[in-house]
Structure 1
Amino acid sequence: MSSPPSRPRQLIIRGITRSGRAFRPSDWAERLCGVMSPYRPGGARTGVGAHIGYSPLCIPRVIDGVKCVIVSEALRDVEPMAWDFVVNFARDNELQTVEGPLPPDVAA
């Protein structure tokens, strides 16, 4: 009997720096997800309304009162440079990150 396929792991980028300060600007999560919106399974959307909406692979959320961005590891398969961009964004801005499966209470 084979085991079910594992879900892609998640990277949660928290809007708190390693020194404990809130990251600014306050809309950083929405901006980052907006930049990542074209990177989605099946490629970028086209047509009317294509510019509206986030990629399901990179979504903003508030977790425990902190703005966060939840990035699916599947983004790496869709566009490796986009994955590197978000990982480097978190590192360069000294943001706290958590890796692992997404907790069920945070699921979209």
Structure 2
Amino acid sequence: GGGPASPPTCCLKCPGGVCTATCNKQLLKEIFAKMYAANAGRIQKLQSFIKANKKRIATSESRVEKLVDMEKNAYNKMKQLLRWSDDNIAMKIRVKEDAVGPRGDMGP
């Protein structure tokens, strides 16, 4: 529309065409309702984006927790394997020393 917007009907009822507080409130309500209606689609999209992102964040956080657990478990398993390996080597050395004598010298 061209030219200045015609004053809303409530203002015409106000004394001397000056809007009262009540009329101003009504105007604001109408303006915001129009803005909201015009942007309803966009607002809905944003809300669904926010929801999707919250889900994504939650998923990522639980993945991180799982990874940390896996790392701890792997570390503990490695420690256990190393302990077994050390024990195994020590036993092999003992068996060999018993059979052959220390450092490959002939046993008794």
Task: Establish whether TM, by shorter chain, passes 0.5.
Answer: no
User: More relative contact order in 1 or in 2 (CA 8 Å, sep 6+)?
Assistant: 1
Q: Which has the higher helix share?
A: 2
Superposition TM-score, scaled by structure 1 size: 0.24
Q: Which has the higher strand share?
A: 1
Q: Which has the larger radius of gyration?
A: 2
